[in-house]
């Protein structure tokens, strides 16, 4: 920001600002910058840089998108059992599907081998 832009934004030369006015202006700028930066983040993304294995943002985004789209998932468990249904909820530890017969089932992630969108055929 150029000095003249700063003066226009503040409404007077910064040398004439009182401490209270300066604090209020800085607070406004901080809140503006915070809202701008947070709108570009993925859900769950940390402020600090992190290795891929230290975050769960990709799976979180996949599940958030699937739930918002009312997508059907096919979930295969490690014992090869398979469930298909609409994703109605999830947490870091479980997925909840609404099955075709209307029942809800919660599957623990520890029992899941993999899952995929069910609109197309799965493995």
Partner 1 sequence: MSLGDHLRFLRAMRGGPAFDALADKLNEADRRKARDLEVRYRDTSDESIVRKLADCYGAPVEELMWHRARSRRSLSDYLLAVSSENRPAELRLRSGEVLAGSVVWWDLAAIGLQPADGRPLLVVQRHAVVDWPLAG
Residue numbers of the site for partner 1 (CB under 8 A)? 51-59, 62, 78-80, 92, 109-110, 112-117, 119-123
CB of 98 to partner 1, least distance (A): 19
Which CB atom, from 94 or from 98, has the smaller least distance to partner 1? 94
CB of 82 to partner 1, least distance (A): 11
Which CB atom, from 62 or from 83, has the smaller least distance to partner 1? 62
CB of 109 to partner 1, least distance (A): 6
For residue 102, the tally of other CB atoms under 10 A from its CB is 7
Which residues lie closer than 8 Å to 29 by C-beta, 6 or more apart? none
Which CB atom, from 10 or from 57, has the smaller least distance to partner 1? 57
Of residues 42, 87, 84, 39, the one with CA closest to residue 60: 42
CB of 78 to partner 1, least distance (A): 5
Q: Is the separation of the CB atoms in 52 and 76 below 8 Å?
A: no
Any idea what DSSP says for residue 79? T
Which CB atom, from 7 or from 117, has the smaller least distance to partner 1? 117
How far is 25 from 94, CA to CA, in rounded Å?
45
């Amino acid at each position: 920001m150029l000095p003249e832009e700063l003066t226009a934004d503040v409404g007077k030369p910064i040398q004439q600002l009182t401490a209270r006015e300066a604090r209020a202006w800085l607070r406004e700028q901080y809140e503006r910058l915070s809202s701008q930066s947070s709108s570009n983040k993925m859900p769950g993304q940390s402020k600090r840089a992190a290795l891929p294995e230290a975050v769960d943002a990709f799976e979180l985004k996949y599940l958030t998108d699937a739930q918002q789209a009312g997508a059907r998932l096919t979930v295969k468990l490690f014992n090869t059992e398979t469930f298909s249904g609409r994703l109605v909820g999830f947490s870091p530890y479980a997925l909840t599907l609404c099955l075709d017969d209307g029942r809800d089932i919660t599957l623990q992630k520890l029992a899941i081998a993999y899952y995929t969108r069910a609109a197309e055929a799965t493995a």
